[in-house]
Amino acid sequence: MFEKVKQLLVDELSVKANDITPTAELVNDLGINSLELADLILLCEEKFGVEIKDEDIQKFISVGDVVAYLEKNAA
């Protein structure tokens, strides 16, 4: 799942692959802004067939947080 999320960040949000680690913070380390985070959420919902609740989005600090959520909730 990490590799899929990493590829999504590289392909869709133009994040450098070398910067993406499970502990990399979306905002502080990868420079993702709120609009890009919204895009990432939508892409994850479409790609992995999961509905991500607004209150869960606030818990997405690192790449690992997104991966863990998807592993737990993806169809």
Band (pLDDT 50/70/90 cuts) for residue 64 is very high
- What local confidence, expressed as pLDDT, does residue 74 receive? 83
Mean pLDDT across 54-62 = 93
Task: Give 3-18 pLDDT, tens digit per residue.
Answer: 999 999 999 999 999 9
Q: How many CB atoms lie within 10 A of CB 64?
A: 16
Distance CA(75)–CA(71), nearest Å, equals 9
- What local confidence, expressed as pLDDT, does residue 75 receive? 67
Task: Give 24-45 pLDDT, tens digit per residue.
Answer: 999 999 999 999 999 999 999 9
